[in-house]
Amino acid sequence: MNDDYLRCSRDPRAYFVEIKKYSHNLGGKTFEVEHTNWAEQANGSVLVRLGDTLVLATAVMSPHTREGADYFPLSVEYEEKFYAAGKILGSRFIKRETRPSEEAVLVGRLIDRSIRPRFDMRMRNEVQVVITVLSIDDQNDPDVPSLLAASLALALSDIPWQGPIAGVRVAKKDNEELILNPIYKERMETKLDVIISGTKERINMMEAGAKEISETDFAKAAEWGFKLLQELVDFQNTIINENRPEKKEAKLLPTPSELKELIKKEFSAKIEKAVYQKDKKTARADQSAAKEEWMKRAEETYPDLFQKSSAELIFDEEINDIVHRRIIAKGERPDGRKTDELRELQAQVSILPRVHGSAIFMRGETHALSSLTLGAPGDEQIIEGMEIRTKRNFLHHYNFPPFSTGEVKPMRGPGRREIGHGALAGKALLPLLPTKEEFPYTIRIVSEILSSNGSSSMASVSGASLALMDAGVPLKKPAAGAAMGLMLNEKGEYKILTDIQGPEDRHGDMDFKVAGTKDGITAVQMDVKIEGINLTMLQDALTQARGTRIKILDFMQGILAEPRPELSPWAPRVMILKINPEKIGALIGPGGKVINDIIAQTETQIDIEDDGTVFITSVTEEGMKKALSLVKQVTRE
């Protein structure tokens, strides 16, 4: 019998696919890796499985550099596939995947923020990492397997990359037990849910939501997760050493030593003077003038070595060196503040006449305008995706128009950054909101960034808290937050910075956002531009963030100490009525005739739940009374 036939009959995939299998048990769960040639045209690809959740990661690098680019062109795409859930999803008219869901965007950002710091930023070849979810069970979230898959796809490819990295999810229960990579049900019952990623030595990304957890408990959870993360890095190194991929030599943007010497000799003092100014507009204008003069001088002096992108990179590196040197050695920040000093705070509430709650919060040159709208229970958002199918009655949206940074750009709706920042601020507020039984409204907050100079997402947390209280929403406690920065040199000396802005954000080594109340943390997001931070740096940043947060909350209390006792006169009122569930059919009527007739007569909105709860929402007292009377007539026992 033909050997090829025998080979195919034993394993249907073996004839077509080259497979190398690896597995590692971590905390009682097994990560399975298959190095295959399924996507053999890609530079690197790998399959990772956890339970019945299976993801395919591919990595591709273009052979040519992007000419004139002033940044490293990396893109990370996380692809949700409805078939992965075994369901036909989508609207009535469109039954295929279209634009990514908010959840897909957030996972894509999470992977991007983990792998990006391990690339040489002087690369100009386009690199694209695509993670496709092929199968998903109802227990294991694809995000942690996707991080592992993205790292291995890059590490096993010929693309230059300083990996591997790995990530784990850590949850903390009310009984203080820590859980590694919890299933969906376990995550709903925890007071901390954090994803941590990093290398064998450092943490380089964190994303967390919590129910007022202490800084000490958060640091302990991070330390516990980091030790387990290191096991996944060792597992990857075993696979990499066995396969030993040969890496290409990427063409890096040159930074000639002659140009470096020229900028230090003739322009360093001028650049330093331009950077170290309190006013952002003046600083930006002076830096622009210094840069223009530098570009002209560099081209005239070394015409054979001059490249526009290279000269711009050298200019940015000089600012980086100046800021690091002065802050680490003397604690001198560009705007004159101390390392733990906040910018000036201002705020005002009830500033928009017809909205249900509004506030503007200003921290230095970062200004966030938050507007709140209350809607009926039926106005909640229906989420129907591959991973999540639920309803949301709290929405926080964040907008970052180009005028907020004095720029002219096309406006094409919210981008990935806006979705990410909006979700972070929403996560910070969610555990502080009343339950649906206590407050049956749908709540939507929109934070418009009118002026930005760092930490705009954290300004949104403060603005949204004030808007909630201004609207009369019974918020348990107000929340606030600020971004902590880091300046680290080659000797290991560092400074943690409070409330970073401008050059500290662009040329610093970390953006560590911490939000919460006086009693604990409710949200964390951390990104770095270096390999990562150690546990000592993490603890220092958390301690400094707490003191900053309390100062902001004390200020906010002076603006509005507690939620207003009454809702805005422009807000709708909701009345809750309980009826016999057997009467629901009579209230709805054939084809919805009865309920629609009541709605039309009374100009109200009526929502009915399966347990017989009826919500009547009206903006007028007359309409409410009439609707209540008609509902009682139809459902009378």
Tens digit of each residue's pLDDT (9 = 90 or more) over 607-630: 999 999 999 999 988 999 999 999
Under the phi-then-psi rule, with left for phi > 0, alpha for psi from -120 to 50, and beta for the rest, what region is 251?
beta
- Does residue 66 register a pLDDT over 90? no
**In 3D, which of 547, 363, 335 has the Cα closest to residue 466?**
363
Q: Residue range 39-46: average pLDDT? A: 95
Tens digit of each residue's pLDDT (9 = 90 or more) over 312-335: 999 999 999 999 999 999 999 999
Tens digit of each residue's pLDDT (9 = 90 or more) over 212-222: 999 999 999 99
Tell me how far the alpha carbon of residue 162 is from its chain's centroid: 23
What is the predicted pLDDT for the residue at 70? Answer: 82
d(CA 131, CA 142): 10
d(CA 315, CA 299): 13
Assessment of whether the complete model's pTM goes beyond 0.75: yes
Average pLDDT of the chain to the nearest whole number: 93
Query: Is cis: bond before 164, omega within 30 of 0?
Result: yes
**12 band by pLDDT with thresholds 50, 70 and 90:** low
**3 band by pLDDT with thresholds 50, 70 and 90:** very low
The lowest-confidence range among 152-161, 167-176, 357-366, 458-467 is 167-176
What is the predicted pLDDT for the residue at 175? Answer: 78
- Does residue 69 register a pLDDT over 90? no
- Does residue 395 register a pLDDT over 60? yes
Q: Which two tokens stand for residue 49?
A: 């499985």
Mean pLDDT: which of 247-251, 464-468, 567-571 is highest?
Answer: 464-468
Which residues, 6 or more positions from 600, have their beta carbon under 8 angstroms from its beta carbon?
none
- Does residue 68 register a pLDDT over 80? no
What is the predicted pLDDT for the residue at 87? Answer: 85
d(CA 327, CA 494): 9
What is the predicted pLDDT for the residue at 9? Answer: 43
Tell me how far the alpha carbon of residue 538 is from its chain's centroid: 19
